[in-house]
Amino acid sequence: MNARGLFFSILAIAAINGWISPMLPAVYVFAPIWLPELFPKDALVIFYGATFIVSVSTLLIAGIPAAIFEGLTKRSETDRPSLMIWLGGVALLTAPGLARFF
């Protein structure tokens, strides 16, 4: 798989984690803290916001090992090994959500 395919796989798995993560209810409960007043306090708006927060957090946390790898190996640009590490991190963070279905 090329780098573009790996990147889109990372994004897709992170989006799935946003829907099924065990952290979703916790983020949902704290909506009064992170939801600005200009948005309606509708359950659907809060759910979409919580899903977005969990997805982006998954991307950020899973990217830390890939960034450390790039820093240690002195790579100038992101390549396939870094993306594979990032994909593994995203898959690892998605595993608890998927485990609930099996």
Structure confidence by residue, pLDDT tens digits, 66-93: 999 988 988 777 678 899 999 999 999 9
Burial of 65 (0-12, 13-18, 19+ CB in 10 A): middle
Residues whose CB falls within 8 Å of the CB of residue 43, separated by 6 or more in sequence, listed in order: none
Containing structural domain, residue 68: 3-99
How many domains does the chain divide into? 1
pLDDT of residue 9: 96
- Residues 22-81 pLDDT 10s: 999 999 999 999 999 898 989 999 999 999 999 999 999 999 999 999 889 887 776 788
Question: Using CA atoms, how far apart are residues 95 and 72, in angstroms rounded to an integer?
Answer: 27
| Better-scored residue on pLDDT, 3 or 63 | 63
Q: CB of 39 within 8 A of CB of 1?
A: no
DSSP track, 41-74? --HHHHHHHHHHHHHHHHHHHHHHHHHHHHHHHT
pTM: predicted TM-score of the whole model, two decimal places:
0.88
